[in-house]
Amino acid sequence: EAGVAQSPRYKIIEKRQSVAFWCNPISGHATLYWYQQILGQGPKLLIQFQNNGVVDDSQLPKDRFSAERLKGVDSTLKIQPAKLEDSAVYLCASSSILVSEQFFGPGTRLTVL
Amino acid sequence: DAKTTQPTSMDCAEGRAANLPCNHSTISGNEYVYWYRQIHSQGPQYIIHGLKNNETNEMASLIITEDRKSSTLILPHATLRDTAVYYCIRLGSARQLTFGSGTQLTVLP
């Protein structure tokens, strides 16, 4: 079974630039999550999708972050414009309806200069 | 608010059992205890979960106290590849993981 795929693995941008991350969940997983992990901290949930609908985006900084999952499969997370404090690893995870175990991708490490 | 308390770091000798404690004194009756680990530069990996009873799988054992206020994750024969940050998480009906800072387990040769 293929795992959760994310790209790119690394990204370096300057502040005020835009960036987008892509996630392909495990086939058949209806629920998709985006997390932000700042160095030295545990991951923090940004947004949760069920199929192509948003379940929870209460911790997503909506003035600069956006996410979509148009066909209920792949998802993109965008930051526009980026700030220095957005430097972090962005993790995507997915889970099925039947079990609560979340499977995580390898993450995208973002550095904002 | 992670709502669990774990030691910041622990060491364990290779081949010995690693016992990682977690305090969750305010856990609700419908909340499960989940354990994940995160090896350096990788995404978190599910280990095990439980509600009331002790659980065991191919990776670890989970011992939950009778009052459910604390639990212990046991890696029976730790290897160098078990060096990671271990997270103890309470999971309710919303099925959302709230990670704390976890315990950095270092397995020593």
Averaged over B35-62, what is the pLDDT?
95
pLDDT band at A1 (very low <50, low <70, confident <90, very high): low
Q: What is the interface size between A and B, counted as CB pairs within 8 Å?
A: 47
**Residue with the larger pLDDT of the pair A57 and A98:** A57
Verify whether the Cβ–Cβ distance B43 to A106 is below 8 Å.
yes
**Cβ-based burial of B75 (10 A; exposed 0-12, middle 13-18, buried ≥19):** buried
Q: What is the pLDDT of residue A87?
A: 98
CA distance B95 to B109: 37
Q: Helix-strand-coil percent breakdown of chain A, rounded to 5? A: 5, 50, 50
Residues in Cβ contact with B66 at an 8 Å cutoff, skipping those fewer than 6 apart: none
User: What would the pLDDT profile of B90-108 be if each residue is shown by its tens digit?
Assistant: 988 777 888 989 999 999 9
Q: What is the pLDDT of residue A2?
A: 81
| Percentage of chain B lying above the pLDDT 90 cut | 80
Verify whether the Cβ–Cβ distance A104 to B97 is below 8 Å.
no
Alpha carbon distances (Å) from B68 to A1, A45, B45, B64, B76 = 35, 26, 23, 6, 22
Instruction: Choose the closest CB to A43 out of B44, B45, B91.
Output: B44
User: What would the pLDDT profile of B9-45 be if each residue is shown by its tens digit?
Assistant: 999 999 999 999 999 998 888 899 999 999 999 999 9
Q: Cβ contacts (< 8 Å) between A106 and chain B: which residues?
A: 41-43
The interface residues of chain A toward chain B in range 17-36, judged by CB-CB distance below 8 A, are 31
SS3 category, A86: helix
Q: Does A104 touch chain B (CB under 8 A)?
A: yes
Smallest CA-to-CA distance from B82 within B21, B12, B6, B5 is with: B12
pLDDT band at B2 (very low <50, low <70, confident <90, very high): low
Q: Cβ contacts (< 8 Å) between B101 and chain A: which residues?
A: 40-42
State the pairing for strand pair B84-91/B103-108.
Answer: antiparallel
